[in-house]
Each structure stands twice: as structure tokens, then as C-alpha cells.
Amino acid sequence: MTADTIPGATAPTLLPSPAARPAWSRRRSTADQLLAEVGRALQVLDGTIPHARPNPAGAPAADDPVLSAAEARHAAGLMRVNHVGEICAQALYRAQAMLCHDARVRGVLLEAAEEEVDHLAWCRERLDELDSRPSVFNPLWYLGSFGLGLLASRAGIPYNLGFMAETERQVEEHLDGHLASLPKDDARSRRIVTQMRNDEIGHRNTAEHHGGVPLPAPVRGAMRLMSRVMTTTAYRL
């Protein structure tokens, strides 16, 4: 199944030629990049990073269904997990891009990271609406994911993109599960998760289109194990 067959899914991104590269694709010194990434991390963690697209849930309305206390706690737990996933995606993709010497592949990673910023904001807004909060471990999730992204970037471009594709594939599975598990009256969370899922499909397709290859089975298994630990913890904390 491709993005062309899924309503709302983002199609693979075809990047411009080197002559038309945006400013963010130009190489900077390692020190400059590290300073920029520290600033970016602080914005991501405190929720002040600007985002582009409006929330797909729209503005709250007076006639929105009222969730029970248990339903609200469950929805908040799932949206906190999703928020952590976007924290990790920011760190992963920006770390991978920082050490990538191919401008086109770096662009793929940074374009995906920019789109994930919208997801971060949407999840944070929904958590606020549910009178809840992000994970207390977000700084650790970010730091660990950034280190993992630096490691992945050294595996070569095909595996680097393959790591992105596998990450998105596993996120899709999580979001499918959340759509099945969210309270039936929680249309606002459901609209956010649906758009996130469509975007992740587009990111996976883009990574594969640009040469991403399947990762070895042990690596995929380790990623699933790490994801399970993260989601179990983030649901409550």
C-alpha cells in the first residue's frame, strides 16, 4: 500500500536540485551545528518551537462530548506516548542529518523533522485540553534518541534511510493501535492521530523512495524492544 492509496497520506517528497537547495541544507561547522541543536532541543522540550499547520482537531467546541475521568486518563496516556514519539523523532532525524554529508538525504531527514514539529504541537495541545502533561522523562528520551541518531548516521546512506523508514513503520503500527484504543467519543484525539499516521506513511515512503533498505532483523527487534519500554513508561510518566 502506498500513500497514493491512503486518503490524506503524504506522498514521497522529491527534493530540489543542489542549485535550489534551501538555506538549511548548507553545511556549517560542527560547533555551530551542536549549538544550534542544543537550542532546538530546548525549544522542543519546553514546547516553544514554532509549527506551521493548524491542529487537525480544530478548536474545542461547546458541544464536544465530555469524556469520563477514566476515558480522559486513558486518552491522555496515549497522547503522552505520541508526544514522546515526536520528541524522539526530532532528536533522531536531526542527529542523523547533522552527520549526513549528502545534501539530498539531509534534506529528507530535516523535512521529516520539520513536519514532526506539527505533531509535537498537536499532541501538546491535546494533553493540555485533557488536563494532563508531557512525560517527565522527555529530556532523557531526547538525549538517548539523539545519540541513537548519531550512531545510525554512520551506517551509510541506505541504512540511514532504512532506519528512518523502519522507525516510521513502527510508529504507524503504534498509531493504528491508538486509533483502535482511544475512547469512542474522543474525536479530537482521533483526528490528530489520523493525520499523524498519514504523515508518517508519507515519511516512510519518502525514505524508501530515496534508497532506504530494510534493516537486519536483530536491529528491527531491538528497535521494537526499546519502543515497548518507552511507550509503557510514557503512558504513565
Structural domain count of the chain: 1
Is 160 contained in some domain? yes
Is 55 contained in some domain? no
Task: Name the 3-class secondary structure at 200.
Answer: helix
Per-residue pLDDT of the chain (237 residues; tens, 9 = 90+): 444 444 555 555 554 444 444 444 445 677 787 888 888 888 888 888 888 799 999 999 888 999 999 999 999 999 999 999 999 998 999 999 988 889 999 999 999 988 889 999 999 999 999 999 999 999 999 999 999 999 888 888 999 999 999 999 999 999 999 999 999 999 999 999 999 999 999 999 999 999 999 999 999 999 999 999 999 999 999
Provide the residue range defining the domain that includes 88: 29-42+67-236
Q: Among 8, 192, 211, which Cα is nearest to 108's? A: 211
Is 194 contained in some domain? yes
Is 13 contained in some domain? no
Is 49 contained in some domain? no
Query: Rounded to two decimals, what is the model's pTM?
Result: 0.83
Contact 178, 123 (CB under 8 A): no
Specify the length of the chain in residues: 237
Task: Name the 3-class secondary structure at 205.
Answer: helix
Residue with cell 538517548: 144
**Cα(12)–Cα(90) distance, integer angstroms:** 19
Which CATH number belongs to the domain containing residue 203 in this structure? 1.20.1260.10
